[in-house]
A and B are shown apart, each in its own frame.
Chain A
Amino acid sequence: MISLSLSEKVMLGTALLGGMAGVVGSFAVLRGRALVGDMLAHAALPGVCIAFLITGHRDLLGLSAGALVSGLIAIGAVTVITRWTRTKEDAAIGIVLSTFFGVGVVLLSIIQKPSTSGNKAGLNSYLFGEPGGMLNSDLIVLAVVAAVVLAGVALFFKEFELTCFDSDFARSQGWPTLWLDLAMLAMLAVVTIVGLPIVGVILMAAMIILPAATSRFWTNRLPVLLLVSGLVGAAAGLLGTQVGRGYPAGAAIVLTASSFFVVSLLFAPQRGVISTLLSEYRLRRRVAEEHLLRALFELGEAELPAVPVIDVQVLRDYRHWWSLDRLLERAREEELIEWSANHVQLTPLGLRRASQITKAHRLWELYLVRHADIAPDHVDRDADDVEHLLPESLVAKLEQELAAEGRLPTVLAEVPDSPHVIGAEASGSVSP
């Protein structure tokens, strides 16, 4: 056996634990069972106490066996309660969690009475975690469990994947989904229970959820998800024990994992908050710009094909604007308009874009009037919402359809007439 210093053992152990918690946690989170880890962690306590009362000493294997048994009984109890009564799953989990833990507290206080024999040191670690007490044998147990769990996942990857994403389909294909589900739960139970003495009850629940939720921000593919959450969990274990020296190790590990989560939450490329906000901002900017172009087109429509100069004040009164000046500024930079003091004029490029947008808007209005049977004075607002999202191909199709029915105005083949009074929405009048 290679001899390791205590801190090396702790690092290795927490990294192993974080890694496998990340992998089994991914399945749990995908199955909507994020809080089952929490329940298992609490429900293990009576088993730990009973195992201690029977064997009279603390060793990871014996106590874990007790914990596993009571964890499995707890899962059974939740299943029975939800299947046989009208108690909902969240309530069943809460009830079993608290009742089992209550039994554990009762047993613990019996054990801690001076009259009970045995070496009680280390039992408390099941509540709050004590990675500092890691023994060589504990490390071996962790390594074996990690190997078994990873082998199980590798072996049944396809089956687990299908059960996670579409269990009805899996069942209809003849897979034993109940057993696969139980296998996933059993892996979750085993990992939770070997982790308990290291990080404690609450924080073990976190180790199940956090790595999986973190990696979910970065990928939509299960193999990548498993890999990334395994790595995130292991890294949280390694860094947490290093950075958090002098602090309770379980809490330090969980806070490290939480900071990975927060970073992902903010900066992940597609699902992250910043990128979501950015894309929302870009959309809003495009919508505002399209409204500007259409307003300019409609204001000068009577004088086409000449492109008239519009008074900014007229434009300002035409509809409600969020900071018109910034909008004009940006449109000028993109060479869509020419703007001086209080006069605006579309450039040839701007006119082309404006007529396209107005066309899309009016075609959609015509379509709504024709097919959705919406009154002409009500379509403007609806079309407003949709026009920005109409793809070119759909606009072309609408144009064809309306032309085939002879409804596409031929006078202005480029842009059809509006089915309602222009400016009705701004002035607030609804009838022509």
Chain B
Amino acid sequence: MSSNTLMLAFAEPDPGIWIVLTGATVNVACALLGSFLILRRMSMMGDALSHAVLPGLVVAFALSGSMGIVPMFIGAVAAGLLTTFLTQTLHQYARVPSDASMGIVFTALFALGVILVKQFAGGLHFDIGCVYQGALEYVPFANRVWGLPRPLLSSLIVMVVNIFVLILLWKELKLSSFDAELATTMGFSATLMHYLLMMLVSVTTVASFEAVGSILVVAMLIVPASTAYLLTDRLGPMVVLSAVLGVLSAVLGYWGGMHWDTSISGMMTVAAGGIFALAVLFAPQYGVISKVLHNLRMSLRVLREDLLAMLYRIEELKSTKSLTPHEAQTAVGGTWLAKIATSQLERRGQVGERDSRLILTEPGRDAARQLVRSHRLWEAYLVKHLGLPLDHVHVPAHRVEHYIDERIQKEIAADLEPAAQDPHGREIPE
């Protein structure tokens, strides 16, 4: 009795659960393959295959007379392999650029599919609009096989197959994705791996069509994996992370779709794209913001060092000339960054102000001396070893001085011995 109610509770959960589950399995199945597509620079192959399987499906339907899972998979695999083969062949033997050959093959096959639908499947429910947008909303009402809605079952099967193949052929797939030639010389054919991957993509595409439509498939194949690519440098974590992001997109997409009462698979795509956009902005190492911050910090350091070196040179000339903060900032470019750099120097106690003129403090003078030393060592080195004329060495030295550490200073100094002067005849400070 109790087991019976449990069964019932299991058999009919909230319809939303079915939708999220289906979306999540599709997304995971796709995301698992996505990492390999991205690493092989074949991201558009997902787009291509998801369109090019159409004639395979129609022919399979026309021959078998049913929309059963098995004939559909066979049709998809055949069409997918044909697409892969034709794309490769056009590129290799007819010298069509590879992106163009992909574009030609998949659009032509899709057009063929559209014609075949009209010819063979006219009376049947074979809605191309549905192929695009999917019908995730109708998953809870789909035919049940073993108690599961059919779209969920087929995507579940594909997900399991994908996981199984990845585990089984992990190192082969990995190696052939990163170094196809090495893989081939080591005895497992990269071409074979390529075709295997394309076969998996075709099958996954078809299993997902019914539920989520081609556009979500294209998105899920590459968007979560691209997000993961911005967050990690290792393949294992990348694959796992992209699967997790796939599930997250499914949940967020369902929530958004219900909230705004709109297409759920569309919302899942938007969610995946949104997560990618966040990663583009905020990824710790490869994100735009961290890159901007890094560049900002770098420019500030260069400006600070330029200011210090300038003040040192003025002192060195024993000139009576002195600079106001504004004059100094103008001399190093006059941007708002220069203002920040000046106040940073003052806060660090490297520069002080007397009568509103900038002067070096003792720690500032030490730092400046090292910079000028780097600069003049580099100038001397360029003249000695590259034979550059005197009026050509200042600009490169001005750039490189910020990157010369103590070790390189020592090496250059040892090489230049006993020169204590730069090529312009100025002393190289210790």
Contacts and interface: CB of A to CB of B under 8 A. Distances in A.
Interface stretch (A106-114, A313-321, A374-382, A424-432): A106-114
Contact of A102 (B99, B112, B215, B221): B215
A305 to B, nearest CB: 48
A103 B223 CA distance: 14
A128 to B, nearest CB: 6
Contacts of A191: none
A105 B222 contact: no
B226 A105 contact: no
Interface string B93-137: 111110111111001101110110010000000001100110000
Nearest to B38: A91
- Specify which of A86, A113, A276 lies most central, judged by the most chain B CB atoms within 10 Å of its CB: A86
B273 A99 contact: yes
Interface in A171-203: 202-203
A110 B287 CA distance: 33
Contacts of B280: 80-81, 84-85, 87
A102 B266 contact: yes
A98 B269 contact: yes
A99 B276 contact: yes
Interface in A247-280: 247-248, 250-252, 254-255, 258, 261, 265, 271-273, 276
Interface string B1-44: 00000000000000000000000000000000000001001111
B156 to A, nearest CB: 23
A213 B96 contact: yes
A88 B221 CA distance: 15
Nearest to B107: A206
Nearest to A124: B129
B150 interface: no
Contacts, number: 200
A343 to B, nearest CB: 42
B393 interface: no
Nearest to A256: B111
Contacts of B104: 206, 209-210, 213, 258, 261
A216 B91 CA distance: 13
A93 B219 CA distance: 11
B283 interface: yes
Nearest to A264: B94
B292 to A, nearest CB: 9
State the main secondary structure of chain B at its contact with A. Answer: helix
A127 interface: yes
A254 B111 contact: yes
B115 A251 contact: yes
Given A209-B104, A265-B94, A88 B272 contact: no
Interface string A70-109: 0000000000110011111011011101110111111111
Interface string B266-300: 11111011001000100100111001000000000
A251 B107 CA distance: 9
Contacts of B272: 99, 102
A248 B226 contact: no
B43 A102 contact: no
Nearest to B273: A99
Contacts of B411: none
Interface string A22-36: 000000010011110
A203 B128 CA distance: 14
Nearest to A266: B94
Contacts of B270: 99, 102-103, 106
A97 B107 contact: no
A144 to B, nearest CB: 27
A38 interface: yes
Nearest to B101: A213
B47 A38 contact: yes
Interface stretch (B167-175, B185-193, B255-263): B255-263
B166 interface: no
8 contacts: A102-B219, A103-B266, A106-B267, A109-B262, A209-B104, A213-B101, A251-B111, A272-B94
- In the complex, the 7 A-B pairs of residues with the closest C-beta atoms, listed nearest first: A102-B269, A99-B273, A206-B107, A105-B266, A98-B219, A251-B114, A34-B100
